[in-house]
Amino acid sequence: METSLTRRAIRLLAGLWLFALGTVLALRAGLGVPPWDVLHDGIRQNTPLSFGVAVIAIGVLLVLVSALFGVRPGPGTIANMLLIGAFEDLMLWTRIGAELDGAYTVARVAAALAGVAVVGLGSALYIGANLGAGPRDSLMVLAATKLGVRVGLARAAIEGTALLTGWLLGGAVGLGTLLFVVSIGPSVDVFFRLFRMEADGRRAEVVAERTAA
């Protein structure tokens, strides 16, 4: 049991680190960032907060709101809330990917698409750790439950609100934002299939065994 928990913790940390790396690639590409990060970027531009601290601040707010309505955070929720922003600030501080600033457009598009792939891999890893949904996922579940709508509709409405708010604050919206919106679903799906995971993060063979029992 202890070994299993250690493996899940390692998987969680690796997933969060990769998620942060994918976001930094999108930032460095300079073509626009994912919807939630448009909001984070808008906050960064209008406050003394760094990009990563803005990510953490929004995460804390979402966890508190979800908790008030009965969605209890797990250890993975707290790790997601704190570590993605910390990892992003650390990577930005090290100047990783900074050479993309003067790169040709084709290289920047390639970096943005690579960022989507890395976010997809990171998402599959941390969700598969089964240690709790991320703050934004918790809000999605809360909205779907309280409003009686499908999860996909709840997610689209929430991300659309984050995107619009971030855009009004001056966040980076562009081709990269569109590429992320169109590509992130297929990217996550590829890695879910690769790791033989169900939609809730459990491995397919585990689900099959429990169903047979």
Return the HEC string of 31-69.
Answer: CCCCHHHHHHHHHHHHCCCCHHHHHHHHHHHHHHHHHHC
As a whole number, mean pLDDT of residues 100-107 equals 88
CA 122 to chain centre: 8
Cα distances (angstroms) measured from residue 210 to each of 22, 95, 206 = 35, 47, 6
Residue 211 in this model has a pLDDT that exceeds 70: no
User: 152 pLDDT band (50/70/90 cuts)?
Assistant: low
Percent of residues, the chain, with pLDDT higher than 70 = 91
User: 140 pLDDT band (50/70/90 cuts)?
Assistant: confident
Residue 129 in this model has a pLDDT that exceeds 70: yes
- Bridge partners for 90 per DSSP: none
User: Beta-carbon neighbour count of residue 173 at 10 Å?
Assistant: 19
Query: How many CA atoms are closer than 13 Å to the CA of 209, on its beta-carbon side?
Result: 5
Residue 190 in this model has a pLDDT that exceeds 60: yes
The mean-pLDDT minimum among 15-29, 67-81, 106-120, 142-156 falls in 142-156
User: 5 pLDDT band (50/70/90 cuts)?
Assistant: confident
Residue 138: exposed, middle, or buried by beta-carbon count in 10 A (0-12, 13-18, 19+)?
A: buried
> What is the per-residue pLDDT for 202?
65
CA 140 to chain centre: 13
The dihedral formed by the CA atoms of 92, 93, 95 and 100, expressed in degrees to the nearest 10: 30
Residue 205 in this model has a pLDDT that exceeds 70: no
